[in-house]
Structure 1
């Protein structure tokens, strides 16, 4: 395995770092100020659209898609260091049109969508004109086992009728969110992994109702948000089905592979920024007669953080390399391993950084508390730690 970055990637890294320093970091406070001062928090801050336009002009757009027809033509391994840089700011992925759940939804449309579906939904998503959400998780079942999903998708002539209640449909609060990919059961009598299907549901379809936005440790993540949605006799054309009936579980697995590793790449960036903030803080604060940086325990925090970040990055790169060379299915153990490792490493580094900042670390004056809240969700999203550990153990016991 050769993890040396190509000249193409190095140039993109340089451009991306410069853009982050010149455009994104200086506008973080502007973004949240505009969100808080708007008549409704569920409106798009003007500065976001300004930054997106500049990112397009700079050629830093849709970097996540390996297909050169739609994206930058980067492999997973090439994208990893770029995604990491974006992960250092919570607003950065959207600036470059590389944010979840749009990335996963675009990948699903690229792989499984018809030409008509791609023209109607993929093109505006690629252009950053609209946003989307992914409606899988349900409040009434343990959704870490996707076969538990109970929402129904029933064929009725030239239409499908959708009924069910979903939650944690991230992004549905955004006024630009126009389309949901909904997972439900088309045939409860089929084999276990062929009962589910996915279907495209425009959010303005009669019967779609956003019940509420769900906070995360008190953060509403406006204007993105995480919605609880009811689908009450929602009718859409039969042509809205993705790939075909019974393919929902297969699509979920194909969609979540890249999605999981993208989260991990961004989490490495989160940990890097936390370490940077911690180092700056301890060099400039004095306690008990000397800088915090001279305290032995603080030096251990910094050393342990660097060690853990490097380990997590190497495992991320290995998983990305395997996805590129042997495919997502063969790389499933590595994907599960990094999905466990990356959030936990980020949380450890963030916790130390918060401790080093004292009371300021839990305030809104620094990004650490919000980063911790978001990172903690990723021990659950796209499969909880326990499910991934179970998968790793089963593969080990089989000698794979």
Structure 2
């Protein structure tokens, strides 16, 4: 994997760069649509490529391990062939899903024993077998196995968890060296910074992760309920430590405003279920604020869903029609809203890139944050 910085903003820490893998070039800042189970919910791959057009999407080790299971993915020739996606894919290691299964898992030094949310069967994830599973899945970028701490989190727990995540990281790196590639392309490995919302722990973890010399680095354990100001403070601490010549990935973040503010702090890569999940509930993100399309005020509004939108749904359908689809529980409504939201997120990060390259990112970002912080 090759990372190349193209420009830096003079009034913030924002950067524009490219990441090159065997499946193509990723222009950053980038938002990765979440395709948890080898599918971005409600979106055909054709629509994903032609209208939303991301350079990279995200899958999840925990879910793909349970269904369709790694033997099926290996028989298909890896996740790209299985889902007919010829661009980049990143897989989360399952650490966040283990965190979300707090009532159905036990964490020990060896790894995590958890109960499947599907059939109640028991499984164990260790740093070693998570590396093997991600080899079988075949994503271009794979993640270290870590523990994601909850918020709030006591200092001593956060510290113990961070040190265990570091020990797990060492085991991931050691085992990955012994585990050959399954397919005819390379995989890049990213470790994950933890430390909850404690600056000293975040700094210590970032230093440990930076010293591994990995080709890219991730920041986990944020966007789990903490105030946005704390998220930004932790991101700033970590970005001051992580090397400038490697991509920085902030996991699970966030709202459009969160994304712009974290780009300004030096983050390159993002993922979040928010655009798709909120779409299924009738919430649309736009450059001028958030729209609840279920509101009665849109019942006779025949203007386009988003006149400024980049996807076909934005001008093919009206707000009145989209509201009608939601009111009668027609699945097409959720599909239209999903395509719109993902298109908007990709437009947002690409506009950010343009303004970084043009040298006026900070002014544009401040204007956009003010515009988007509205309920329409």
Q: Normalising by the residue count of structure 2, what TM-score does the alignment of the two structures yield?
A: 0.29
More relative contact order, 1 or 2 (CA 8 Å, 6+ apart) = 2
Give the TM-score normalised by the residue count of structure 1.
0.28
Whose radius of gyration is greater, 1 or 2? 1
